[in-house]
Structure 1
Amino acid sequence: MALKKSDLYSSLWASCDQLRGGMDASQYKDYILTLLFVKYVSDKAKTDPNSLIDVPEGGSFDDMLAAKGDKEIGDRFNKIIAALAEANGLRNVIDQADFNDEEKLGKGKEMQDRLSKLVTIFNDLDFRGSRAEGDDLLGDAYEYLMRHFATDSGKSKGQFYTPAEVSRILAKVVGIGPHTRQDHTVYDPACGSGSLLLKAAAEAPRGMTIYGQEKDNATWALSKMNMILHGNEIAEIEKGDTLTNPQFTRNDQLRTFDFVVMNPPFSVKSWSNGLEHDYGRFEYGRPPEKNGDYAFLLHALKSLNSTGKAAIILPHGVLFRGHAEATIRRNLLQHGFVKGVIGLPANLFYGTGIPACIVVLDKENAPARTGVFMIDASKGFMKDGNKNRLRSQDLHKIVDTFTKQIEIDRYSRMVPLREIADPKNDYNLNIPRYIDSSEPEDLQDLHAHLHGGIPDRDLDALSNYWDAFPQLRGHLFTPNRLGYSDLAIDVSQVQQAILDSTEFQQFTDEARTLTTDWFAAHRDTLAAIDEDTTPNDLIAALGDDLLARFKPIPLLDEYDIYEQLMTYWHEVMHDDVYLLLADGWHAAARPRQTIEDKDRKLSETPDLVVGSGRGATKYKTDLIPPALIVARYFADAQARIDELTAAADEATRAVEEYLEEHAVEDGLLADAMGDDKISKALVAGRLKAIKKGGDPEEIEALQQAIELYNAEATAKKAVKEAQNELDLATLKKYGDLTENDIKTLVLDDKWQATIVHRVVGEVEALTLDLVARIQQLGERYAATVPDLDAELDQLEAKVAEHLAAMGVST
């Protein structure tokens, strides 16, 4: 049986990290990704006779596995990798990591054990693609490892990786999509490990023709491996400094491409060192000697063909810095090359914590361009460890807004070039000049403070709620005087009044029905999940349809609803779909015994335990949690256990209350206490000691305590026996499930029920913001100045009265 993807990745990372020792993550990744490469090409060669990578005898992962425990394991690994490299023209590409380096891997037994354990970990991965052909296990495993290595590498060494979410945005806003042909070209002049190029090419239905250049030797090798790992063996990835020594030239001119995507190093101070030939890149101005941001941008522009488009990640400074950069910016805008600018949140990238932006260039429509489309997406993100990360809803909203040129208040607008060129702006592209994303100021109303009442303008600002619930405002507020209203109910009752309102209940029911209908429309597709299903296509169809259905609904943000689906997809559904791809419905639903691996420090928490003590058998139920089986098939048995549990809790309370009454100093059970504690054993011991000749009242109290303890034990035993019976019946039921039963449990009881619950929760959460605002306004203007004056007069009178009583005259 396949492990859940999330379990597979987390155990892979935990195991690798455990064996890292003191090595820096930026170095350790070369070892791990080399092993991943050898494992992948070895597995692929076993099933694909047409594989472009030849795995020679003595150059496979199986040869590495055979070296386990060998005293010369490091040297053997190097020779195996060298044989693989030699057979495929990959010398100085896949053999960069030295597996016999004692400084990094330890000496003697330490190296022997570390490498033996590492090769064992990778043996658990199976890339032969038996049933899971529709799912990119390798790509996801690689992405998981790269994100973790980038996180651990720190600012100075994490630039080899562009977060996947940002890569997808660049690909989509630059125009790569369903109509992009396989012979269309995409180029990254600073490609790092190649992750951005691969994400861009993946947006095209049949991939694209890939070109890239990378300056750092180790990262270039990583990129070459990455291309092969992702089935792009023929991608052209060249080595060298793009600015001073570009490799893609023809007849002393830069080669041009359909698309350019790039995340170059920010503000390089030495960009022109060694520059002899500018290839006409600086016709619109020469970048300042101490800042290379525009050098990369102008290289990208020159590398575009006549209809080419580029998306480049750059620091915000390129939008507003003066002098030479201002000249370049003005020329680019006057020629219409800048299609758009997207401001991103701070701390997204691994090489820097500063906020960045995406500059989109477009040569095709440049002469007719009359404006620049701007987006301020700086506030849409989630915290992820010590970095910020774009959520699924942030990515989708940015792409939708940019590609459809949708203007949204405080988020996006098309800025006319005449406004940008106006002398007050002087071709400055700083986003806050054109989009005010700040929240409206919450103004205090002096008249309301003096005379009471809530200003109607504050209530009018909540129009989204009143549009959704037309009668609610009239129910909550009554007119005070012109322009002011009073709360018709106590502030503490506002939330319940909203929840109880017919309109809110109808709104909730509508959201529930909309979600249920959406799921019903896709249920047949979900029920047909098999080895040919492509998970990314599946969730894209589900997500886009959910967005479209909720778009017309007032008050609700369709992207918030979409995020509920995507969060559940990443947390649960993707794992479930992977299991179904790998094993099919029946096998995926079968419980498996938990994994206990002391060497890898991997211990799973069981979902179901049958038996007790050493004879207990522990199971994981990855696809169908036991609670779903119980709820559908054993509801009566569960209800009985709930009753027995309640009885056991009552018996425990009876014991506690009796002890609280009598097990106190001078109480009837005082002599049975030991170190201020009392137990059944102590009570029984005391009873035995005084049974003859003891105080009758104490004996009776001890006997009563024993009876209560026995009743508690009997009640708890009944719960345990009933639970054991239910667990056994539940385990047996898994084996009796038909495929239709499994689909009902997974599709209806698990996926649909959870998503509907999450959407309804999003609806109910809306009330919290409304309630908080109404409470704030109600409390703000509850006490008028005359009220405060009267209260002050009362307090002064009380003080004077107290002083007079003490004989102090005022």
Structure 2
Amino acid sequence: MALSKEQQTKMWAMLNQTRGQIGLTAYKDYIFGILFYKYLSEKATKWLEGVLRGKTWEEIYAQDPAKSLDYMKRNLGYAIQPGNFFSDWKAAIDEDQFNIGLMTDTFGHFNQQIALEAKGDFEGIFDGMRFDSADLGANAQARASVMISMIELLSAQEFDLSGGDDAISDIYEYLVAQFATVLASDMGQYYTPKEISTIMARILTHGREEEEKFSIYDPTVGSGSLLLTTASFMKHSHNRGMIKYYGQEKDATPYRLARMNLMMHGVEYNDISINHADTLESDWPDGVVDGRDNPRMFDAVMANPPYSAHWNSKDREDDPRWREYGVAPKTKADYAFLLHCLYHLEDNGRMAIILPHGVLFRGAAEGRIRKALIDRHQIEAVIGFPDKLFLNASIPVCVLILRKNRIASDILFIDASKDFEKLKNQKRLRQEDVEKIVETFVQRKEVEKYAHVATLEEIKENDYNLNIPRYVDTFEEEEPIDIVAVSQEITKINAEIKQAEAEFLSMLNELAVTPETKDLIEAAKGVFE
């Protein structure tokens, strides 16, 4: 069950009360890291309760430390030795025995106890926390004080994780969204509005919700929200091994957040493969191997890449991702990201990508790429959204839906730019707006002033320009003006004005004239003569 507004408000107020002088940018790394470690600790504790059979973890560990840790690693992908659990931190605080070295030792031990097959999922995941950092305080005592406040905060009822994966994911999602809101320039680029994520997810999974094996890939994974939302519409998403999650992210903070986010939503580490890499510079690891192209393909690909980013486009003509279409200009990487996604799409898969409207009509290299995609029938739909939906960008965006091997050559255009709820500084899609977009896509239907299915001939007549207003006419004609009625209304108003003037002059004539009021009365009369 989602957090109530009251819970959210209280949670955020508690966070602000505990951070002291730490800036939010630094604070988020610690609060997310400690929250995630609490989750791992409680998951390990629950697992131990099922396997210890009356003994304590301390007893089992004392008998054979290496064997005990290896057994936990085989089952969880990581191991936590006695004394290093979140509950041990809290106990040390309660007994006035806590010091900053306890946390340093804990994470040092944790990094040594990651299973080999789980290295990519856990390695470096706590690197955002530096316990010798001046961000926390000038000395060890000050830093310990900050850590104590965070641990006690996350021990409060509001951060209780015992409600299962739904409770955990609700807390995590709320915090990601809230930090993205207040740190829009820092985190906003990694956060896709839930409504747009839902539209993309429902389109990507349409007709395949029952499949037992499904792979999803986001090459600019951010916090992982697009992957999670897409998986949530698959019937078997909660079954281990059914959904495989893949992603790449070049920035360290969201790379850590994405892995935390997936695992705190109950995704097992061996179903996750997130790489720390620049997608355009480094293709998926099993792309070109020993000079031979061996690309990994995915059932659904989704992306919200940085808009019109600069990139190194030099000598890219032979890269298999762009070889058949052309290379995007160095000042606008939009089509480089799109073609990367398309390249890694299964033949029967579907992809969705969020891009600025410029990709629909800009010429030169982008025009040639767009023409190739249209001539190959690979663009299935273009959906236009309102502006101000995103935290870090006020421009309107569009979502392009593509498939590799379409037979039909038409393209569905949806203009959803007029449907939204206006907030203080932003706009938001309502549930009815989401439903309308998805229903229109699924039924692929014409809707006056909203959606149009354009033939290839129409698109060619428009010189391969996909600008939505060329295909969806949203112009609203004004009602014709009744000149006779307007003239009559003006005559009536003029008569009423003259009547009012006459009544006012009559009132002035009845006023008693004194030396002080004579000039004022004469001046007032002059206005109406």
Q: Same fold (TM over 0.5)?
A: yes
Q: SS state of the match for residue 39, structure 1? A: helix
Would you say 1:151 and 2:181 are equivalent positions? yes
* 8 Å Cα contact 1:158/1:350 also seen in 2: yes
Q: Distance in 2 between matches of 1:4 and 1:148?
A: 13
User: Which is further off, 193-202 or 71-80?
Assistant: 71-80
Q: Distance in 2 between matches of 1:378 and 1:171?
A: 19
Higher helix share: 1
Q: Distance in 2 between matches of 1:214 and 1:4?
A: 29
1:280 and 1:101, CA in 2 relative to 1: closer, same or farther beyond 3 A?
A: closer
Per-residue CA shift, 1:403-442, capped at 9, x if unaligned? 22233222222122221210xx211111122223344324
* 8 Å Cα contact 2:22/2:135 also seen in 1: no
The residue type equivalent to 1:428 in the other structure is N
1:373 and 1:73, CA in 2 relative to 1: closer, same or farther beyond 3 A?
A: farther
Alignment match, 1:380: 419
Alignment match, 1:29: 28
Q: SS state of the match for residue 27, structure 2? A: helix
Alignment match, 1:160: 190
Displacement, 1:315? Answer: 0.8
1:803 and 1:54, CA in 2 relative to 1: closer, same or farther beyond 3 A?
A: closer
Would you say 1:351 and 2:392 are equivalent positions? yes
Q: SS state of the match for residue 380, structure 1? A: coil
Displacement, 1:796? Answer: 8.0
Q: Distance in 1 between matches of 2:427 and 2:153?
A: 30
Alignment match, 1:549: none
In the TM superposition, what are the counterparts of 1:209-288 in structure 2 within 5 Å? 209-232=244-267, 233-234=269-270, 235-250=272-287, 251-272=292-313, 278-288=319-329
* 8 Å Cα contact 1:312/1:359 also seen in 2: yes
The residue type equivalent to 1:447 in the other structure is V
1:447 and 1:197, CA in 2 relative to 1: closer, same or farther beyond 3 A?
A: same
Displacement, 1:273? Answer: 6.9
Q: Distance in 1 between matches of 2:225 and 2:478?
A: 42
1:391 and 1:273, CA in 2 relative to 1: closer, same or farther beyond 3 A?
A: farther
Per-residue CA shift, 1:477-507, capped at 9, x if unaligned? xxxxxxxxxxxxxxxxxxxxxxxxxxxxxxx
1:100 and 1:58, CA in 2 relative to 1: closer, same or farther beyond 3 A?
A: farther
The residue type equivalent to 2:284 in the other structure is Q
The residue type equivalent to 2:111 in the other structure is A
The residue type equivalent to 2:160 in the other structure is D
1:256 and 1:100, CA in 2 relative to 1: closer, same or farther beyond 3 A?
A: same
Alignment match, 1:127: 161
* 8 Å Cα contact 1:271/1:291 also seen in 2: no
Q: SS state of the match for residue 249, structure 1? A: coil
Q: 1:94 aligns with which of 126, 140, 144?
A: 126
Alignment match, 1:585: none
Q: 2:361 aligns with which of 304, 307, 320?
A: 320
1:803 and 1:37, CA in 2 relative to 1: closer, same or farther beyond 3 A?
A: closer
Q: Distance in 2 between matches of 1:216 and 1:312?
A: 19
1:793 and 1:72, CA in 2 relative to 1: closer, same or farther beyond 3 A?
A: closer
Q: Distance in 2 between matches of 1:237 and 1:35?
A: 21
Alignment match, 1:787: 492
Q: Distance in 1 between matches of 2:302 and 2:150?
A: 35
- TM-score under structure 1 normalisation? 0.54
Alignment match, 2:460: 421
The residue type equivalent to 2:227 in the other structure is L
* 8 Å Cα contact 1:60/1:84 also seen in 2: no
Alignment match, 2:449: 410
Q: Distance in 2 between matches of 1:431 and 1:34?
A: 44
Alignment size in residue pairs: 468
Displacement, 1:100? Answer: 3.4
Alignment match, 1:170: 200
The residue type equivalent to 1:393 in the other structure is E
Q: 1:56 aligns with which of 74, 77, 81?
A: 81
1:237 and 1:180, CA in 2 relative to 1: closer, same or farther beyond 3 A?
A: farther
* 8 Å Cα contact 2:169/2:261 also seen in 1: no
Displacement, 1:223? Answer: 1.6
Per-residue CA shift, 1:595-622, capped at 9, x if unaligned? xxxxxxxxxxxxxxxxxxxxxxxxxxxx
1:804 and 1:37, CA in 2 relative to 1: closer, same or farther beyond 3 A?
A: closer
Q: Distance in 2 between matches of 1:106 and 1:12?
A: 27
* 8 Å Cα contact 1:82/1:95 also seen in 2: no
1:23 and 1:313, CA in 2 relative to 1: closer, same or farther beyond 3 A?
A: farther
Q: SS state of the match for residue 297, structure 1? A: helix
* 8 Å Cα contact 2:317/2:323 also seen in 1: no
Q: 2:470 aligns with which of 433, 447, 457?
A: 433
Alignment match, 2:352: 311
Q: 2:433 aligns with which of 391, 394, 400?
A: 394
* 8 Å Cα contact 1:213/1:238 also seen in 2: yes
Q: Distance in 1 between matches of 2:153 and 2:504?
A: 79
The residue type equivalent to 1:9 in the other structure is Q
Alignment match, 1:702: none
Displacement, 1:181? Answer: 2.2
The residue type equivalent to 1:174 in the other structure is L
Q: Distance in 2 between matches of 1:140 and 1:287?
A: 39
1:337 and 1:797, CA in 2 relative to 1: closer, same or farther beyond 3 A?
A: same
Displacement, 1:792? Answer: 6.1
1:273 and 1:93, CA in 2 relative to 1: closer, same or farther beyond 3 A?
A: farther
Per-residue CA shift, 1:195-235, capped at 9, x if unaligned? 21111111111122111111112321222222222222121
Q: SS state of the match for residue 255, structure 2? A: helix
Q: Distance in 1 between matches of 2:3 and 2:248?
A: 36
Q: SS state of the match for residue 32, structure 2? A: helix
Alignment match, 1:65: 90
Displacement, 1:176? Answer: 4.7
Q: Distance in 1 between matches of 2:498 and 2:256?
A: 82
Q: Distance in 2 between matches of 1:332 and 1:405?
A: 20
Q: Distance in 2 between matches of 1:362 and 1:263?
A: 17
1:371 and 1:796, CA in 2 relative to 1: closer, same or farther beyond 3 A?
A: same
Q: Distance in 2 between matches of 1:141 and 1:437?
A: 41
CA radius of gyration, larger in: 1
Per-residue CA shift, 1:656-715, capped at 9, x if unaligned? xxxxxxxxxxxxxxxxxxxxxxxxxxxxxxxxxxxxxxxxxxxxxxxxxxxxxxxxxxxx
Q: Distance in 2 between matches of 1:797 and 1:292?
A: 72
User: Which is further off, 44-53 or 191-200?
Assistant: 44-53
1:195 and 1:75, CA in 2 relative to 1: closer, same or farther beyond 3 A?
A: farther
Alignment match, 1:329: 370
1:180 and 1:421, CA in 2 relative to 1: closer, same or farther beyond 3 A?
A: farther
Q: Distance in 2 between matches of 1:26 and 1:217?
A: 13
1:418 and 1:786, CA in 2 relative to 1: closer, same or farther beyond 3 A?
A: same
Displacement, 1:3? Answer: 12
Displacement, 1:277? Answer: 5.9
1:271 and 1:17, CA in 2 relative to 1: closer, same or farther beyond 3 A?
A: farther
* 8 Å Cα contact 1:244/1:276 also seen in 2: no
* 8 Å Cα contact 1:316/1:430 also seen in 2: yes
Would you say 1:371 and 2:421 are equivalent positions? no
1:800 and 1:346, CA in 2 relative to 1: closer, same or farther beyond 3 A?
A: closer
* 8 Å Cα contact 2:209/2:233 also seen in 1: no
Q: Distance in 1 between matches of 2:97 and 2:132?
A: 11
Q: Distance in 1 between matches of 2:314 and 2:97?
A: 47
Q: Distance in 1 between matches of 2:509 and 2:256?
A: 91
* 8 Å Cα contact 1:177/1:204 also seen in 2: no
Q: 1:195 aligns with which of 214, 218, 225?
A: 225
In the TM superposition, what are the counterparts of 1:683-722 in structure 2 within 5 Å? none
